[in-house]
Amino acid sequence: MIHRLRRSATISIVEKLNSCQDSPCQKVLNSITCALDLSQNSGGITKGLYVCNGSSLFKIEINTDLCLCTEVFAFPETVYSIAGNENGIHWLNSSQQNLYTLTNNSGETVTQTLLSEVASSDQDAACNLFSNSLPPPSVTETTGSSILLNISSVQTSATSIPSACLAWDNVNTSQVHFSILYQNTNSVSCLSSPSCMESRIEDVQNPVLENLRPNTSYEIQIAVYRTLHNSTAVSISQQLLVNTTCGISSEPANVQCLPQSFNEVYIVWEPPVVLNTEEVRYQVAVQTGLHDIPTGTLQFTKFTQQTLLYQVSDH
């Protein structure tokens, strides 16, 4: 289950989409690149929740027990970022020269405008768009329980604005925040997996994932949220695969000494409950000094099996 964002009273787009797992929408969510929440867009005909998988735009209807996905429009080019307002849903072409606007839910009315000639009512939305795929984050440091990330490349790509916007004086920049999406290595994307987790980034200079499992492979993506007027958009970065380092395993379980004869005993045990490495080697120490057995410590090292036959010497 996706964790609720810390210090947030609202439900994120990712959390809303999490309720659509194991539904007809799962295939769409498995390749999502961006999403747009216009549920607060009271005056717009495009009110609702939308996702895009790069090639198409879908409207998501979340009911009590089922999510429905309806394809609204097939993009002529791959799309990584969408924005919306009362006038419709907007995206850029790859050259960032043209702004496309979908003005209804049926996908029948799409307008194309030179970005330099966009009406003032749509300039805010247009200037919060980008046309390239967001790169994955990079790793600064890993331990057995944490991963320290660097998201500077994601920030640069996500906050770059089209050149036409530089000539506009009264453009409102959106409120931007970042979240980390992560899960154990899986065959499906984080958004369509019940093991997907979300952690809001409070410190963009040192974003860190904590309380992870040692010697575990994680898939990590960055979700970039933009809030502008009555809309919230999110874009998802490319994926990064990271392994946490090996940690200390727990102690061997159920250790027993089983007598075999007057001077032989089997020492047996089970593997640690928490196994944080691919191979475990055991060290067995026998403390002598009882009765007529000489005092001392015998150590048997590098055992990979889980049994040892110990024979007491005759003297």
Read off the pLDDT of residues 240-272 as tens digits, 9 standing for 90 and up.
999 998 877 778 888 888 888 877 878 888 888
Is 169 found in the same domain as 120?
yes
First vs last C-alpha separation in the chain: 63
Is 260 found in the same domain as 235?
no
State the amino acid at position 153 in one-letter form: S
User: pLDDT at residue 280 above 80?
Assistant: no
Mean pLDDT of 90-96: 91
Radius of gyration of the chain from its Cα atoms, rounded to whole angstroms: 28
Is 195 found in the same domain as 62?
yes
Integer Cα distance of 162 and 92 in angstroms: 9
Is 263 found in the same domain as 182?
no
User: pLDDT at residue 6 above 60?
Assistant: no
Identity of the highest mean pLDDT range in 62-71, 145-154, 296-305: 145-154
Is 168 found in the same domain as 286?
no
Mean pLDDT over the full length of the chain: 82
> What's the structural domain count of the chain?
2
pLDDT band (50, 70, 90) for residue 172: confident
Using CA atoms, how far residue 200 sits from 92, 268, 315, in Å, is: 27, 47, 67
Buried b (16+ CB within 10 A) or exposed e, 181-197: bbbeeeebbbbbbeebb
User: pLDDT at residue 309 above 50?
Assistant: yes
User: pLDDT at residue 133 above 80?
Assistant: yes
Structure tokens at 288: 């002598």
Q: Which residue has the higher pLDDT, 277 or 273?
A: 273
Integer Cα distance of 115 and 132 in angstroms: 17
Residue 89 has a CB neighbour count (10 Å cut-off) of: 30
Is 211 found in the same domain as 116?
yes
Give the pLDDT confidence score for residue 51 in this predicted structure: 92
Q: Write down the H helix ranges in the chain.
A: 13-18, 26-29, 120-126, 152-159
User: pLDDT at residue 105 above 80?
Assistant: no
Structure tokens at 178: 């970042």
Is 158 found in the same domain as 57?
yes
Structure tokens at 302: 């590098």
Using CA atoms, how far residue 1 sits from 14, 20, 21, 214, in Å, is: 11, 11, 10, 21
Which stretch of 145-149, 171-175, 184-188 has the lowest confidence by average pLDDT?
184-188
Of 123, 121, 112, nearest to 162 by C-alpha is: 123
Domain containing 176 equals: 13-243
Give the pLDDT confidence score for residue 250 in this predicted structure: 77
Give the pLDDT confidence score for residue 308 in this predicted structure: 67
Of 134, 35, 25, 29, nearest to 84 by C-alpha is: 35
Mean pLDDT of 158-175: 85
State the amino acid at position 208 in one-letter form: V
Domain contains 263: yes
